[in-house]
Amino acid sequence: MILNRFKAVVLLAGMSGLLLFMGDLLGGTQGLTIALIISIILNGSMYFFSDKIVLGMYQAQSLSEYEYSWIYGIVSELSHEMRLPMPKLWLIKTPMANAFATGRNPSYSSIALTTGIISLLTPDELRGVLAHELSHIKNRDILVTTIAATMAMAIGYCADFLRHRAFWGSFSNNSEKNNHSSSVLGAVALAMLMPLIALLIKLGISRSREYLADETGAHACRDSLALARALEKLHNHIPKAYMDPQDTVRASMASLFIVRPLRGGGLMELFSTHPSMQKRIEKLFTIHQQKGY
């Protein structure tokens, strides 16, 4: 758990370093400050309203406490164990078996379950999933990922400004072109490379938070094997009922779900918001061997 937290801190520090480096390349703090302010406004809006946006996007309905009292019982028990307020519970009517947590802090949190996951998993396996989602709330992952997104967007703005400056600088006179051609090429290369590095760091943070939620959830529910079985079932179910990648609006929220709801792998694993399922399950088995649960 400490290692996963340390990884996230190191990655955030690395992204901060990239942002400062880009500001220095631009020759001052003014452009950097403007980019950062714009990023904070955009991502701040998402931080405060993303729960309403994503729940509305999936047409989530309040989970019936009468019909699903056993789920409310599980969440209430786990919330007490993890010293968290009881989150709001939502139901999304889709055969896609998945779940996600959202909300800006533990006092304003929600967990959404699909009809697919409720019908697919056993109560013990669903308990493991709910512990994982409560762990995202406990670890304030929405805040961490919002900070990462803010810095990544600011780096993107800086890179775009740098590309434009290099482009317009290329229309100077011939002697200046000869003197500065290499620096222009270097600026363009950096402007293209830096956002890619920022994206990879942001995805690395997302993957580290998934590992941390798995670990925290396994300790909370004291049944790491149930969570491992749930993850395996969910992963194997994706090819049968998955999110259409052509639905770019909904696909943009794929990082929220406990398992990646899109088909595909291979090289794209590098650009995935989720760690390898095999590695996640292996880590849960390691916890079982070490802790006995």
Catalytic residue among 65, 77, 81, 133: 133
Write the DSSP symbol of residue 262. S
Look up 133 and say whether it is catalytic: yes
Residue among 197, 200, 198 nearest 269 (CA):
200
Q: What is the gyration radius of the CA atoms in the chain, in angstroms?
A: 22
Strands across the sheet containing 108-114: 61-62, 88-92, 108-114, 99-105
Residue pair 209/139 in contact (Cβ under 8 Å)? The answer is: yes
CB contact set of 215 (below 8 Å; sequence gap of 6+) = 1, 4, 135, 283, 287
Residue pair 218/128 in contact (Cβ under 8 Å)? The answer is: yes
**Identity of the residue numbered 94:** T
d(CA 38, CA 292): 49
Active site residues: 133
